[in-house]
Amino acid sequence: MAKLVEITGKAMSGEWGFDDETGNGIPVLRTTNFTNEGVVDYKNVVTRTIIKKNIDEKYLRPGDVIIEKSGGSDKQPVGRVVYFNGPEKTYLFNNFTGLLRVKDQTLWFPKYIFYSLYGNYRRGGTRAFENKTTGLHNLKVDDYVSRYEITELDHKKQIEVCEYLDKIYKVIKLREEELQKLDDLIKARFVELFGDPIKNPKGWDVVKLSECLERIDNGKSFTCDSNAREGAFPAILKLSAATYGDYRPYENKALLDEKQFVESVEVHRGDLLFTRKNTPDLVGMAAYVFETPEKLMMPDLIFRLVTNERMTPIFLWQLINNREFRPVIQGISGGSAKSMSNISKERLKNIEIICPTISEQKKLEGVLDQVNKSKVKVQKALDETQKLFDSLMQQYFG
């Protein structure tokens, strides 16, 4: 094992400078440009006026590893890392981040150092080096860098390990792109069949949502039973299962007692779930449940929408999540821009929607059935590839 500090030296501190009022500033990467996959997100890179001299060494170079010094939350520890592979002498990094640069690349392959740190972060290895001030999570960077150890491998073997992991990561991204394209296909078919739901170029009837609903079911607030045996009682569905427009069931070890199960709302195949409370950008998304484990319960942050004979749940699902229709949903939410937004049952019932004939709505189901079968296959392949990536990270980096 080798000490990280011997490989990279101490982390260099970042620069922030001043507001760029001329438009000729230097692009500076922030923690908002970090992804949880260790890849730099170049969208929304800010430019800053930097007047400090002698900062040539701080311009990012391919192979640099940037580490998050301040950020995170109680659920997400500070200490994320990203691997920089952009143009040389172009970007700086801000004061909430630090730079780790391999001193001798004939001995240590930079991507190998990154993968080691990335794997350690995913295992929660940075939590022991956190401190909190006024709600912020800060990483004791010098302590972390001086104590963290890297598994020693022959330089050629380091490259081989990284190339193998890179190939698997590319397969993961291709699978994710396939899923996105299948989702886009459904959305395109919706527009082809029904047109813009706001402009209504096909002249469909316009009605209140309440005219197409049999009922709206509330989820329940739950108290977990720490003494319950796992599998004996229902798990609680997380809000994230319905947040992004498709149904994503999550295993959850928070269990209910028997009384709560009797009184709770159970999720079933064919349900249409609606996130009544969430952040302003994600509130009011809908998810159609194709398959669900038994004894899965709905929390109070979610409504279940039960349609009547005038509307299919699949049509309503696609309508609610339609990009052109989203402002209608967000317009009925309450709450400030910085807090959780909430949608009341009454406001939801009173929105106006297009209502094509039921025979036209059902045309969407055939398309969706075929697309969903493809999605199941792709998702299975994605899950298997992700498991392989995770197992190799464990094998190589512990």
Q: What is the CATH number of the domain that holds 210?
A: 3.90.220.20
Neighbours of 48 (CB within 10 A): 17
124 and 210 together in one domain: no
213 and 134 together in one domain: no
Task: Return the C-alpha torsion angle 325, 329, 335, 338, nearest 10.
Answer: -30
Sheet holding 81-83, edge to edge: 12-13, 97-100, 65-68, 81-83
User: What value does the mean pLDDT take over residues 313-340?
Assistant: 87
In which domain, by residue range, is 210 found?
A: 205-219+237-249+263-355
6 and 142 together in one domain: yes
142 and 282 together in one domain: no
Among the three residues 152, 177, 195, which one is the final residue of a domain in this structure? Answer: 152
215 and 103 together in one domain: no
Judge whether 275 lies within some domain: yes
148 and 214 together in one domain: no
Percent of the chain at pLDDT above 90? Answer: 70
Is 229 a residue whose pLDDT tops 60? no
210 and 345 together in one domain: yes
The pair phi, psi for residue 106, each rounded to 5°, is -80, -20
- Which are the contacts of 275, defined by CB distance < 8 A and separation ≥ 6? 239, 242, 243, 282, 283, 284, 285, 286, 301, 302
Is 55 a residue whose pLDDT tops 70? yes
141 and 269 together in one domain: no
Judge whether 329 lies within some domain: yes
Is 226 a residue whose pLDDT tops 60? no
Mean predicted lDDT score pLDDT of the chain = 90
Judge whether 16 lies within some domain: yes
In 3D space, the residue among 258, 257, 262, 256 whose CA is nearest the CA of residue 235 turns out to be 256
Judge whether 49 lies within some domain: yes
Percent of the chain at pLDDT above 70? Answer: 90
pLDDT tens, position by position, 352-366: 999 999 999 999 988
11 and 101 together in one domain: yes
User: What value does the mean pLDDT take over residues 322-329?
Assistant: 94
Is 60 a residue whose pLDDT tops 60? yes
Structure tokens at 228: 């319950």
Is 261 a residue whose pLDDT tops 70? no
d(CA 330, CA 327): 5
- Output the pLDDT for position 133: 67
User: What value does the mean pLDDT take over residues 246-269?
Assistant: 68
d(CA 379, CA 177): 11
User: What is the 8-class DSSP label of residue 279?
Assistant: -
Structure tokens at 119: 């794997």
Task: Return the C-alpha torsion angle 155, 157, 159, 164, nearest 10.
Answer: -170
61 and 128 together in one domain: yes
27 and 90 together in one domain: yes
Q: Three-state DSSP class for 370?
A: helix
User: What value does the mean pLDDT take over residues 37-45?
Assistant: 94
Q: Count of domains in the chain?
A: 2
- Output the pLDDT for position 183: 87
In 3D space, the residue among 69, 71, 78, 165 whose CA is nearest the CA of residue 114 turns out to be 165
116 and 213 together in one domain: no
Type of residue at 162:
C
Judge whether 383 lies within some domain: no
